[in-house]
Amino acid sequence: MNAAPPLEKDVVPDPTPPENGLSFVEEIHNLLHASVGNPISSCIQCGTCAATCPVASGGFMEHTPRRIIALIRAGFKEQVLKANTFWYCASCYQCTVRCPRGIDIAELMYGLKRYTVWKTQYQKGLIGPVFSETFVKMILRTGRSYEPILATTYIFTFGLPEMIQEAQNGTALMLKGRLPLLPPRIKRLENFKRMIRRIIPLGDSE
């Protein structure tokens, strides 16, 4: 276990030297090698992102975007990957458009989501990763999204009282004629599936 992460206002300690020769911030730069924004090493820790973020300023993120960047640069890999910050990012791009250094912070949040999904290292109990995975699976099968599948997966996976709320809302929408009864699918589905496999060569059996 690494030492406790720095507090919100204090100075960020020197990066912990990585055992494998590559620092965590370099790893993140590699992850974002195609980003149009500036590298996160150019962050000046001004806090604009944290102040402008509607989720962080509501107190819902364990670490603000600013702090996530500080932690990455200080090499606190485990704390960063286990944080809820990027799973609670609403992709509103407020931080991205306001950052004085032109860092695409929202893209960093996407990147961290990918990174943790690939390594299944995300915080346990979060709904975000399961939701994303279900959604992607659904579209690979039909080409379209279908809300009831999402809601159902969601309830089966979590079964919390707030999910019951979701079911109630779903039923109410059904009664108002606002949810479809059958999942839609695209017509050229076979072509579509082959197209997908040229991007990710998934197994052949259907």
Partner 1 sequence: MSQPKRLLIIDDDPDFVAGIKSILVKAKYEVDVAYNPKDGFQALKDKAYDLLLLDVMMGRGAEGIMVARKLGKDPNLRNMPVLIITGIREQMAFLFPGQAVHPHFVSVDELVEKPVEPKLLLDRVQALLIKSAEARKTNSK
Partner 2 sequence: MKTYAYFPGCSLEKMAQSYHLSALETTRVLGVELKELEDWNCCGATAYFHVDELLAYTLSARNLAMAEKEKLNLVAPCSGCYKNMYFTREHLLRDPDLAEHINDALAEDNLRFSGSANVQHLLEVFVHEVGLKEIRAKVTNPLKGLRVAPYYGCQILRPRKDHEDIEQPRYFEELVGALGAEPVDYPLRLRCCGGALILTNRVAALSMVRNLLESAVKAGAAVVATACPLCQVNLECYQKQVNKEFGTEFYLPIMYFTQLIGLALGIPPKRLGIGSEFVAVMPAIAEARDADPVPTGK
* Residues within the interface to partner 1 (CB under 8 A): 18-22, 26-27, 30-34, 114, 117-120, 133, 136-137, 140, 194, 197-205
User: C-alpha dihedral over 58, 64, 65, 67, to 10 degrees?
Assistant: 170
- For the chain, the helix, strand and coil percentages under 3-state DSSP, each to the nearest 5: 50, 0, 50
Do the beta carbons of residue 104 and residue 143 sit within 8 Å? no
Does the footprint of ligand SF4 cover residue 95 (CB under 6 A)?
A: yes
Does the footprint of ligand SF4 cover residue 106 (CB under 6 A)?
A: yes
Does the footprint of ligand SF4 cover residue 25 (CB under 6 A)?
A: no
The CB-of-52 to partner 1 minimum distance in angstroms stands at 26
Using DSSP's 3-state secondary structure scheme, residue 138 falls into helix
Both tokens of 22, joined, read 């590559």
Answer with the entry of ligand SF4, partner 2, partner 1, none that 3 interacts with (C-beta below 5 to 8 A by kind): none
Residues 126-145: x/- map of binding to partner 2 (CB under 8 A)? xxxx-xxx-xx--x---xxx
Both tokens of 123, joined, read 């915080």
Does the footprint of ligand SF4 cover residue 116 (CB under 6 A)?
A: no
Alpha-carbon radius of gyration of the chain: 20
* Binder of ligand SF4 out of 15, 18, 37, 47 (CB under 6 A): 47
Q: How many CB atoms lie within 10 A of CB 193?
A: 14
How many residues touch partner 2 under the rule CB under 8 A: the total is 61
**Phi and psi angles of residue 25, each rounded to the nearest 5 degrees, phi first:** -65, -35
- Give the residue with the Cβ less far from partner 1, 130 or 179: 130
Both tokens of 193, joined, read 């599936």
Interacting residues with ligand SF4 (CB under 6 A)? 43-49, 52-53, 55-56, 65-66, 69, 89-95, 99-101, 103, 105-106, 109
